[in-house]
Amino acid sequence: MDIRFAKMEGLGNDFIVLDDRDGKILNAVSYEELSKRLCSRHFGIGADGIITIGESETHDFRFTIYNSDGSRAQMCGNGMRCFAKYLYENGITSQNTMTVETDAGTVIPAIFQDDWGRVDSVRVDMGEPVFVPDRIPFTGSGERIAAQKIQTAQGEETVTVLSMGNPHAVVFVDDMADVDIERRGRALETHERFPAGTNAEFIQVLSPDELVMKVWERGAGSTLACGTGACAAVVAARLNNLSSDAATVHLDGGDLLIEWNRENNHVYKTGPARLVFTGVVPI
């Protein structure tokens, strides 16, 4: 069976987007197996994960994402921008705003076009941050886990923990050059207090309006960008009185504008998405 795919990226966080609204791909192979096969950078197309477009009974579309190791993620902010761009530019929808069903709940991307009608950027309503430990999930007590010290295999870390549809451990550092992302990130990802694992973000605050971020993603390792992680970073920085409600997050793959609207408690993320190439691959 041959399947058509689009290789897309959002700030260097790259994905293989598959239209499976008819379910033929899933009938042929599990998404878990397919993600491991296609995401291999030596033996496959190469990507941080696969994203599938599905039908939804309650929303305009269904978004499903699997990491390169075959694990299923609840949501991905960079992937959602690629998802929305693909839908619009391939004529699957003509709506500038759509409702998308994800494992993390409803996500609403809004499309902005350039002078040629192409999708220039996407603003995504990422929903509300979750602080209750059981819902993150994180083993702890209290309404919020902010600036809490935990012991890891790489030493003591001071973490602010929250969920943006997936778990995040945010660590603030004085100098990013001194951070061993792989060792410290892996130690947090697999820490026993995160029963489902976690994404780890290391943040250097430049000013209340600017943050520098490096990320270790659960199931994918070090990546150039993480949209939900950038959202978690700004929320965590605001909780620790280190940033404004809106800030630009500088990632290795580029910049994201993150806004935490305190009136409705929703977090909004604006950034680019780009088509790299399309093709056909046998499965």
- pLDDT tens over the chain, length 283 residues: 999 999 999 999 999 999 999 999 999 999 999 999 999 999 999 999 999 999 999 999 999 999 999 999 999 989 999 999 999 999 999 999 999 999 999 999 999 998 888 899 999 999 999 999 999 999 988 888 999 999 999 999 999 999 999 999 999 999 999 999 999 999 999 999 999 999 999 999 999 999 999 999 998 899 999 999 999 999 999 999 999 999 999 999 999 999 999 999 999 999 999 999 999 999 8
Asked if the peptide bond before residue 137 counts as cis, ω within 30 degrees of 0, the response is yes
Domain count, the chain: 2
Same domain, residue pair 138 and 48: no
Same domain, residue pair 30 and 61: yes
User: CA-to-CA distance for 79 and 190, rounded, in angstroms?
Assistant: 23
Q: What angle do CA 64, 132, 81 make, to 5 degrees?
A: 30
Same domain, residue pair 198 and 241: yes
Nearest to 164 by CA among 129, 134, 194, 132: 129
Same domain, residue pair 11 and 40: yes
Same domain, residue pair 216 and 117: no
What's the CATH code of the domain at 75? 3.10.310.10
Same domain, residue pair 104 and 197: no
Same domain, residue pair 12 and 123: yes
> What is the domain range of residue 14?
2-127+271-282
Same domain, residue pair 156 and 256: yes
Same domain, residue pair 91 and 149: no
Same domain, residue pair 278 and 178: no
Same domain, residue pair 64 and 172: no
Q: Catalytic residue numbers? A: 76, 226
- How far, in whole angstroms, is CA 133 from its chain's centroid? 20
Site of tokens 């069976």? 1
Same domain, residue pair 122 and 161: no
